[in-house]
Structure 1
Amino acid sequence: MLTSSIHFSYMFFLLFFVTRIVHSNKFCSCDQPDSDFATDVNFIYYKCNNETPATIAYPVTAPQDLMEVLEDKRVIFYIFGYMQFPEDPGVQYIMEALCYERTDNIILLDWSKYSNGSYQTVFKNAEIVGSLFAQGIRLLVDSGLDVSKIYIIGHSLGAHISGFAGKCNDFVIPRITGLDPANPMFYPFGCYLTAADAAWVDVIHTDRGIYGITTAMGTADFYANGGVRPQPGCKLINPILSKDDFCSHQRSVTLYAVSKRQPKEFIAVQCSTYLRYMLTNCTNNLNTTIGYTASNVHGSFYFSTGIVEE
């Protein structure tokens, strides 16, 4: 009961004091960096079949050979977040989930060359990586990739990188999923994921106002346990930038991974506010799955979870 009280108090404190900031695309640039910057930024194709080696890397500036290994099914691009890298346990966890039952082609954008350092530096580099990512997607489409089969998922800063694929191309990305997109309050001027970046943009919020974005930014926004820390099993206050400190932020990834393996594990309810959801006072009883199988819904959705372990 005490934990629930702390959760509610923190949530209302956060929502009362955080001011909504509206960002425009005037801070976005699709200009390509020089070749030195692009070195070691790669698309990593996951075979998902226990072969050795398990992955194949392709330069993001010359990914055309990737078309030779893609199967005739949807192509999921995953983009990790701040301070992460391909071998990170959290990244490996979501990649294993995406590979589950081999339903899709799975590709990781490896931007680890630029994902570590001060947040301000990494943020600006992420915007440049975003323009590279958009170009890489365009080169694949020019080489025959069916646009209708593209699906992009990004966590933290990776969510904002995802948006460049829509901003910087003249074709429409069918779907982008943002997993607790990084909070622009840390760096107020920049280029962020928006609902206009794809035909359908869904966002899972788990750490609003701390490491996650405070505002709704998708076609559909899903709030786990109100979307704020502490998520069940996580702590409210931790050593800054520690694994425990990222617990609630990382929970968005865990929830998505669970949704891939167990699509009906979490059911979200459309509601105007979290308080109405908790009071079972939602005027629209539209229910939907979250994450992997979610589709074609609009508005704000809330759902509850217990402790979810990776």
Structure 2
Amino acid sequence: MLMSIVYLYFLLFLVTRIMCKENMCRCNVPDSDFAADVNLIYYKCNNETPATISYPITAPEELLKVLEDKQTIFYIFGYLQFPEEENVQLIMDALCYERTDNVVLLDWSKHSKGIYNKAFQNGEKVGSLFAQSLQLLVNNGLDVSKIYIVAHSLGAHIAGFAGKCNDFVIPRITGLDPANPLFYPRGCYLTSEDAAWVDIIHTDMGGYGTPPYQGTAQYFQNGGVRPQPGCKLISIPLSLTDLCSHQKSVNLYAESKRHPTKFVATRCASYIDYILNNCKDSLQTYVGYGASNIRGLFYFKTEVL
């Protein structure tokens, strides 16, 4: 049984690598009608009303007037999600915790719905818009060294455009269980070259989440596969129950924002070696918000989040 699982993931790895190498990523900016439905939402992270300010993706310069001199986290949600969705609100509340960072949400909710292949194609257009928007912000004074992108599922592949389509280097992109490319083979996906450091948290690898290859550092929560604690192995496709393991990456990151040293992972060749305590160097690192710039495969266990 174990060998069958290993073989399956090996095939997923090879097929996905081939698909990604055969497809070109394009940075063409879509038409103005499409762009009009995409916005950057700044979260004040205090008790002011209204709690957010929205800026057009094609004219984000006014955003610079409200950003404080600290790191700016851009969060990108995934397929079928929207700003008011519970899972999105969970992480936005966490990102606002103690106001340690500027917090900005990429709202592409008018293009994230419908059938998956259409949403995926829309996501690539949104990625080009997001990259252009960051370029405008940098041209007008945003410090590149203080840009940090966190993205979940299909949003992780949108995040990759920020690195692919600009002439500056994004310091860090964190992919929360990036969407599985096998759901839509032809396309442009997040890679380890899209930022100086790309860390990936796997919770539903080979299911809704991608096989392991996209990050410079990859973290496998409870082996990185379903079912995660508190989740079921299978359920109705795209139901909350079936998405449970996929969403655990968001839960974990939100918790790590509030408690940066709570989750500790060990570098190891495989999950089996980790379980058997056969990791060679036993290098450990925090997971999520508090993670450091490091490379390799890292494994850790959690209870229900």
Report what 1:73 is aligned to: 70
Counterpart check, 1:247 vs 2:239 = no
Q: What secondary structure is seen at the aligned counterpart in 2 of 1:202?
A: strand
Match of 1:3 in 2: none
The alignment status of 1:15 with 2:9, answered yes or no, reads yes
1:276 to 2:273 alignment: yes
- Which deviations, in whole Å up to 9, do the C-alpha atoms of 1:44-78 show, x marking residues without a partner? 00000111100000000000000000001000000
Check 1:107–1:10 CA distance in 2 against 1; reply closer, same or farther (3 A cut). Answer: farther
Q: Are 2:173 and 1:176 equivalent residues in the alignment?
A: yes
Distance in 2 between the 1:110 and 1:10 partners?
40
Kindly indicate whether residue 122 of structure 2 is the aligned counterpart of residue 128 of structure 1: no
Contact 2:23–2:186 (Cα < 8 Å) also in 1: no
Q: Taking structure 1 as reference, are residues 10 and 302 closer, same or farther at Cα in structure 2, changes over 3 Å only?
A: farther
Shift of 1:215: 2.2
Distance 1:121-1:68 versus aligned 2 partners, 3 A rule: same
Question: Which piece of structure 1 moves more, 173-182 or 16-25?
Answer: 16-25
- Unpaired runs of at least 5, structure 2: none
Partners of 2:228 and 2:133 lie apart in 1 by 35
1:83 aligns with 2:77: no
- 1:296 counterpart SS class: coil
Letter in 2 for 1:84: Q
Partner Cα distance (1:111, 1:10) in 2: 39
Is the alpha carbon distance of 1:250 and 1:197 closer, same or farther for their aligned partners in structure 2, counting shifts above 3 Å?
same
CA drift at 1:249: 0.4
Paired residue secondary structure (2:226)? coil
5 Å-filtered alignment, 1:17-32, equals: 18-20=12-14, 21-22=16-17, 23-24=20-21, 26-32=23-29
RMSD between aligned residues: 1.5
Stretches of structure 1 that go unaligned for 5 or more consecutive residues are 1-5
**1:223 paired to 2:217:** no
Question: Cα 1:10–1:289, aligned 2, differ >3 Å: closer, same or farther?
Answer: farther
Q: TM-score, normalised by structure 2?
A: 0.96
**% identical aligned pairs:** 64
**Count of aligned pairs:** 302
Q: Comparing 9-18 with 29-38, which one deviates more in the overlay?
A: 9-18
CA displacement at 1:16 relative to structure 2: 5.8
SS of aligned partner of 1:152: strand
Which residue of structure 2 lines up, in the alignment, with residue 92 of structure 1?
89
Letter in 1 for 2:191: T
Q: Structure 1-normalised TM-score? A: 0.94
Letter of the structure 2 residue corresponding to residue 225 of structure 1: N
